Structure 1
Amino acid sequence: MPFPNDIQSALLFDHPVTHLEAVMRSFVNIETARTGVGYNLVEAKPGVFYRLYGGGELMVTLEYIAGPAKAEVFQPAMSSAITRIYCPDMGERLMRHKSHILIGVADGVIPSTPDIDRMLSQIGYQKPGMTLPKFLRRLEVCALLSRLAMDEVPASAVHWTQSDQLFPGEMFDALAAGSAPGMLHIHPYLYGGGESPDGKPLAGIRTFGAAHFIDREIRVEPHELPWMANFETILAFLRVATTQNGYIIPDNDTFGPEDHSLSYRVRHIAATADDVALYELEPLLYREHGYQSPHYVPRERTFDDRTAPDELMPGEPERQELLDEWQEKRAMAEGIGGRFEVRSRNPQPPAPPPPSQPTGFGVRRMFGRKTG
Structure 2
Amino acid sequence: MSFPHEIQSALLFDTPVRHLEAVMRSFVQIETARTGVGYNLVEAKPGVFYRLFGGGEVMVTLEYVAAPAKAEVFRQPVESAITRIYCPDMPDRLRRHSSHILINVSHGALSSTPEIDKMLDQIGYVRPGTTLEQFMRRIEVCTLLSRLAQDDVPASVVHWTQSNQLFPGDMFEMIAQGAPPSPLHVHPYLFGGGQSPGGKALAGIRTFGAGHFIDREILIEPSELPWAANYETILAFLRVATTRNGYIIPDGDTFGPEDGSLSYRVRHRPATDDDVALYELEPLLHREYGFQADSYVPRERTFDDRSAPADVMPAAANERAELLDEWQAKRALAEGIGGRFEVRARNPEPGATPPPSQPTGFGVRRIFGRKAG
TM-score range, shorter chain: over 0.9
Paired residue type of 2:159:
H
Question: In the aligned structure 2, how far is the partner of 1:119 from the partner of 1:104?
Answer: 21
Contact persistence 2:266–2:279 (CA under 8 A)? yes
Deviation at 1:344, TM superposition (A): 1.3
Q: Deviations over 1:264-306 (max 9, x none)?
A: 0000000000000000000111111111111111112212321
Contact persistence 2:3–2:135 (CA under 8 A)? yes
Work out which of the residue numbers 355, 361, 365 in structure 2 matches 1:352.
355
Q: Deviations over 1:185-216 (max 9, x none)?
A: 00000000000111100000000001111010
Contact persistence 1:284–1:296 (CA under 8 A)? yes
Contact persistence 1:301–1:347 (CA under 8 A)? no
Deviation at 1:330, TM superposition (A): 0.2
Question: Measured at CA, do residues 89 and 371 of structure 1 come closer, stay the same or move farther in structure 2, by a change above 3 Å?
Answer: farther
Contact persistence 2:107–2:129 (CA under 8 A)? yes
Question: Measured at CA, do residues 301 and 98 of structure 1 come closer, stay the same or move farther in structure 2, by a change above 3 Å?
Answer: same
Q: Deviations over 1:305-338 (max 9, x none)?
A: 2111111100221110000000000000000000
Question: In the aligned structure 1, how far is the partner of 2:238 from the partner of 2:335?
Answer: 17
Question: In the aligned structure 2, how far is the partner of 1:127 from the partner of 1:174?
Answer: 33
How do 1:1-372 residues align onto structure 2 when only pairs under 5 Å count?
A: 2-314=2-314, 315-345=316-346, 347-348=348-349, 350-352=353-355, 359-370=358-369
Deviates more, 1:120-129 or 1:103-112: 120-129
Deviation at 1:26, TM superposition (A): 0.1
Query: Which stretches in structure 1 are left out of the alignment for 5+ residues?
Result: none
Contact persistence 2:31–2:38 (CA under 8 A)? yes
Q: Secondary structure at the match of 1:180?
A: coil
Q: Secondary structure at the match of 2:53?
A: strand
Paired residue type of 1:328:
A
Question: In the aligned structure 2, how far is the partner of 1:286 from the partner of 1:92?
Answer: 38
Q: Secondary structure at the match of 2:61?
A: strand
Paired residue type of 2:204:
G
Deviation at 1:3, TM superposition (A): 1.1
Question: In the aligned structure 1, how far is the partner of 2:94 from the partner of 2:28?
Answer: 30
Paired residue type of 2:220:
V
Deviation at 1:350, TM superposition (A): 4.5
Paired residue type of 2:112:
S
Contact persistence 1:345–1:364 (CA under 8 A)? no
Paired residue type of 1:16:
P
Deviates more, 1:19-28 or 1:120-129: 120-129
Q: Secondary structure at the match of 1:299?
A: coil
Deviates more, 1:235-244 or 1:283-292: 283-292
Query: Which stretches in structure 2 are left out of the alignment for 5+ residues?
Result: none
Paired residue type of 1:263:
S
Question: In the aligned structure 2, how far is the partner of 1:117 from the partner of 1:12?
Answer: 28
Contact persistence 1:312–1:350 (CA under 8 A)? no
Contact persistence 1:350–1:361 (CA under 8 A)? no
Question: In the aligned structure 2, how far is the partner of 1:359 from the partner of 1:15?
Answer: 69
Deviation at 1:2, TM superposition (A): 4.0
Contact persistence 1:11–1:102 (CA under 8 A)? yes
Contact persistence 2:8–2:102 (CA under 8 A)? yes
Question: In the aligned structure 2, how far is the partner of 1:229 from the partner of 1:200?
Answer: 15
Question: In the aligned structure 2, how far is the partner of 1:78 from the partner of 1:345?
Answer: 47
Deviation at 1:126, TM superposition (A): 1.6
Question: In the aligned structure 2, how far is the partner of 1:53 from the partner of 1:345?
Answer: 60
Question: In the aligned structure 2, how far is the partner of 1:248 from the partner of 1:85?
Answer: 30
Question: In the aligned structure 1, how far is the partner of 2:123 from the partner of 2:331?
Answer: 40
Q: Secondary structure at the match of 2:176?
A: helix
Contact persistence 2:256–2:262 (CA under 8 A)? yes
Question: How much identity, in percent, do the aligned residues show?
Answer: 73
State the TM-score, normalizing by the size of structure 1: 0.96
Question: In the aligned structure 2, how far is the partner of 1:2 from the partner of 1:175?
Answer: 26
Contact persistence 1:2–1:214 (CA under 8 A)? no
Contact persistence 2:8–2:161 (CA under 8 A)? yes
